[in-house]
Amino acid sequence: MSTLTVAAIQYDISWRDKSANFSTLEHMISAVFNEHQHIDLLLLPETFSTGFCTTDPAVSVTDDGGEDLFWLKQMASQYGCVVAGSVFVRQADKKANRFYWVWPDGAVEYYDKRHLFRLGNEGDYVVQGNDRKVFDIKGIRIFPQVCYDLRFPVWQRNQQDYELLVNVANWPAARRHVWDTLLKARAMENQAFVIGVNRVGADGLGVAHSGGTVVLDYVGEPVATAVDDKAGVVVAELDFSELERYKESFPAYLDADDFVLN
């Protein structure tokens, strides 16, 4: 099994200001590629272009991803890697919190957030996704999740169909302990690498975010970690042959319970 080089960007998302966020990200991405010649997967936080402004009618959404998807395609083409992150996309009379997965050739896949944040009334404005997706890079199977999904282990249970779980988020500082703990739990229980990508700074509603962007191995140990409360990029090369050997030596997955997802 091959290796995968991943980069995860942690930054302070400008509230409802797509131009400012695109500009910030372009500078950060350029700096990453000046230092690293090759990256396979570049990850951005949840709602990276606007912040988590579910109720705000001033936030423009389109049926086809609009300028957000156009920008993602530009970045993927320019840097020759998959670029992924979530944005709001119109869906009937609501919108979807859509995790776009964009290839350098312009091909697009996506996952719509399954679990909607009840405390923030996300379900009043956002439609629930129902399709479990797994993407593939170089034979490495990657399971995309968005923020609140992290709390629901049944939905994330590894059915031996992925080696890497990715969660992109706007996870508040007040519940940072939960973020750190559940990311480790998901890695250990699923015997998979896990990447959590979070933002920093206060959003337009005054909600503080401390970061916690991290790459974990399959036993929950950190491979690379961002500095708290500071914008930055985490880069890691993951060797999936190590995961394969670990699962051969400790095949706990063979004793997992059968279940059916609705």
- What residues are labeled active site? 46, 113, 147
What single DSSP character describes residue 79?
H
Task: Kindly calculate the radius of gyration of the chain based on its CA atoms and give it in whole angstroms.
Answer: 17
d(CA 176, CA 211): 8
User: Do 110 and 100 form a contact (C-beta atoms < 8 A)?
Assistant: yes
d(CA 176, CA 197): 13
Residues 6+ apart with CB under 8 A from 262: none
At 214, which helix (H) or strand (E)?
strand 214-216
- Residue indicated by tokens 């060797």: 239
At 19, which helix (H) or strand (E)?
helix 18-35
- Residue environment code for 158-195, b if the CB has 16+ CB neighbours within 10 A, otherwise e: beeebbbbbbbbbbbbeebeebbebbbebbbbbbbbbb
| Tokens describing residue 60 | 């423009």
Angle between helix axes 66-79 and 18-35 (nearest 10 degrees) is: 10
